[in-house]
Structure 1
Amino acid sequence: MKAPLVSVIIPARDESGNLPSLLDEIARALAALDHEVLVVDDGSRDGSWALLGARTARDPRLRPLRHAESAGQSTSVWQAGHAARGEWLATLDGDGQNDPADLPRLLARARQGDVALVAGHRTTRHDDWLKRISSRIANGVRARLLQDATPDTGCGLKVIRREAFLRLPYFDHMHRFLPALVQAQGGRCVSLPVSHRPRGAGRSHYGVHNRLWAGLIDMAGVMWLRHRSKLPAALEVTHRETLDEPVEQARSET
């Protein structure tokens, strides 16, 4: 089976009210591009899995995955990234607040060849005041400590080369630090403005407390990883090694 250009990854928990319209929007936005869509039902209790099963019967590009019990957004993205077949991975949240119409623009920038990750930057937020303030503080602290030159790492809309993603270390909540982790591996990241919309249905599973304390611990860990990284490191190949493959091939043909 031919590998698609891009694999869209959607972690979703109890988002049955948002998934149908979101999947329709993705199909329209990427109609001209070879793609697949992996939705990870992260322990939903609202009928999301049955909805995805019914939709798969008429949409061959849809590949639903499931956790019987919630394993979290990072685990969902990590596992879907390994199951994906595309050259590029595009992530967006299952709540419908990210606009799929932004995907072709982010993908076009990524395919220019000079970056490993393109992150969305929500310049206009449609959240309540507490979420906006806490996000602004978190992004400010993160940018100052990690120096990742990414104004909005909390935005779920990102495009990353799958090869680069597979090299990243896994830990819970890693999805919040993808630019810093990519940079620690020697990759370059850029940000582009993207749309942000009000949540259509359901409610958020994140609050100030389950973001703040875990985020501080994770940030310390990412700082340590970046401090200890020696990448990128130039790796020279010996002349003999470059000849090994043709030599072995010649031997096998004789």
Structure 2
Amino acid sequence: MNADPLATPRLSVVVPVKNEAGNIEALVAEIGRACAGLAPFEVIYVDDGSTDATLATLKALKARTPWLRIVRHDSSGGQSGAVRSGVLHARASVIATLDGDGQNDPAFIPALYAALDQGGPGVGLAQGQRTSRKGGWKRFQSRIANGVRGRVLKDATRDTGCGLKVFRREVYLALPYFDALHRFMPALVTREGFSVVHRDVVDRPRFTGTSNYGMFDRLWVGLLDLAGVWWLIRRRRPAPRASETDTSDEIG
């Protein structure tokens, strides 16, 4: 598996983390097993300004895990910022993302990858949708946020907050970047003219610790972002096809 760490990977798995030292080793092992059939692959952990032993744990693990890479933020930039840093450093044309707390099961990555691949170049995103949520208050927040978002954006996605996503790197980099982008990807990918496919995934309890991206990141601040995304979609104009003209064709 991944015998040559210098080989161009088929898949880059991006995992944003902040103060998740206790969850890293078990999740990295799970990702390795889940992605064995997609080798060569790479896993990019983005340490979003952690103040615990996250960085030290990653460095120790990297010494015996050749396909693991570490990107470090000198201060916290938020979950969307960490995802973007990982995508910018990724070497593969296809990216998978999942949360670093263990709630997203990487066993679903191959199915999402297959859905994107089988859909052809017109599919830009395979979005995981959780069939159940752990934690009553968190589940309540998500139900409200997803309900409001769905009515406004009509993005045909039940659960955009699920961290399990597989998408084309070039499509992601064409999206307008802003904080909380990861929660609006289906609508924005559709805005760019690509299709979105969905696959059900199972939500798990986090391995250890508590959430480091809180209520306001998920709900209240998201109302302002929702208004902005609605505006972006309404202002989208079809891009004309562009091709370079060879002046030699006009001579004679």
Task: State TM-score, norm by structure 1.
Answer: 0.90
Distance 2:101 2:159 in 1: 18
Distance 2:218 2:204 in 1: 21
Distance 2:44 2:155 in 1: 28
1:171-210 matches, within 5 Å, as 171-210=178-217
Counterpart residue type for residue 164 of structure 2: L
Q: Which residue does 1:153 correspond to in 2?
A: 160
1:51-90 matches, within 5 Å, as 51-90=57-96
Tell me by how many angstroms 1:173 deviates. 1.1
Distance 1:69 1:237 in 2: 42
Tell me by how many angstroms 1:134 deviates. 1.2
Using the aligned pairs only, state the percent identity. 52
Does 1:109 pair with 2:115? Answer: yes
Cα pair 1:12 1:94 within 8 Å, conserved = yes
Tell me by how many angstroms 1:90 deviates. 0.3
Distance 1:242 1:143 in 2: 49
Does 1:30 pair with 2:35? Answer: yes
1:138-160 per-residue CA deviation (whole Å, 9 max, x = no partner) reads: 10110110111111000000000
Cα pair 2:48 2:74 within 8 Å, conserved = yes
1:192-238 per-residue CA deviation (whole Å, 9 max, x = no partner) reads: 1001100110101233334322100101111111111113x452648
Distance 2:235 2:101 in 1: 36
More displaced stretch, 200-209 vs 73-82: 200-209
Counterpart residue type for residue 176 of structure 1: R
1:96-149 per-residue CA deviation (whole Å, 9 max, x = no partner) reads: 0000100001001110114110000001112x2111111011101101101111
Unaligned runs of 5+ in 2: 1-5
Q: Which residue does 1:121 correspond to in 2?
A: 129
Q: Which residue does 1:221 correspond to in 2?
A: 228
Residue aligned with 2:203, SS: coil
CA shift in 2, pair 1:200/1:226, >3 Å: same
CA shift in 2, pair 1:82/1:207, >3 Å: closer
Q: Which residue does 1:94 correspond to in 2?
A: 100
CA shift in 2, pair 1:58/1:216, >3 Å: same
Tell me by how many angstroms 1:84 deviates. 0.3
Counterpart residue type for residue 132 of structure 2: T
Distance 1:27 1:77 in 2: 19
Distance 2:42 2:243 in 1: 37
Pairwise CA RMSD: 1.7
Q: Which residue does 2:3 correspond to in 1?
A: none
CA shift in 2, pair 1:198/1:225, >3 Å: same
Distance 1:176 1:117 in 2: 13
| Structure 1 runs (4+) greater than 4 angstroms displaced | 240-244
Distance 2:58 2:141 in 1: 33
Residue aligned with 1:117, SS: strand
Distance 1:138 1:210 in 2: 11
